[in-house]
Structure 1
């Protein structure tokens, strides 16, 4: 009897472990365009539901950036191992990489007293510029 309980326990453990998916992922869509002047666009879509796309352009030159600034924006999405759709959009420009997505952590709100102090500091900085 104990032998059957032991075998049933091992069988239960084996069935409870995460199953490996050995499905082959194929490319459903793939497009690429590059105009050679800093303007480009590409996208791809895979059979596992993941998608990626990105585009870019060159901002015109100015006094601060005599060669112009490359701006890149895009998005990607995929399904987590738990089956949740993860989506992220982003832009990268002179302000750095700026991602947005519901799954990204967010900072806690600034306490009221600290926000008040920051407002006073910013107001003083603006008044001193004038």
Structure 2
């Protein structure tokens, strides 16, 4: 769970630390003990969305499962990039049209 929080904080810092002084235009969060979600959108087109849930609560197999996405607009080309991901007991699994894909063995 600490890793997931670290990923979100890093993405949030990346979104708000851009040199063009983007402003937050939307920010929502709903945090409960076993379910949470957050959304962030900045004036430069950056978006960060995630939702998570604890599964197998109270067992030795308790794990956080997070589904989310983040996107940004390249300042030079104007191209929009989007990464969707799942983070669970199998690790961080990002997908995006611009990301390389490992060859099938």
Common fold: TM-score over 0.5: yes
**Which structure ranks higher in relative contact order (CA pairs < 8 Å, sequence separation ≥ 6)?**
2
Identify the structure with the greater strand proportion: 2
Segments of structure 1 that go 5 or more residues without pairing to the other structure are 1-21, 111-130
CA-atom RMSD, angstroms?
1.9
Q: What is the total number of aligned residue pairs between the two structures?
A: 86
Segments of structure 2 that go 5 or more residues without pairing to the other structure are 1-18
Identify the structure with the greater helix proportion: 1
Q: Deviation above 3 Å: which 4+ runs of structure 1?
A: none
SS of corresponding position for 1:77:
strand
**How high is the TM-score relative to the length of structure 2?**
0.72
Which residue of 2 is the match for residue 55 of structure 1?
51
Q: What is the CA–CA distance in structure 2 between the aligned matches of 1:87 and 1:53, rounded to whole Å?
A: 11
SS of corresponding position for 1:73:
strand
Which residue of 2 is the match for residue 69 of structure 1?
63
Q: What is the CA–CA distance in structure 2 between the aligned matches of 1:79 and 1:41, rounded to whole Å?
A: 23
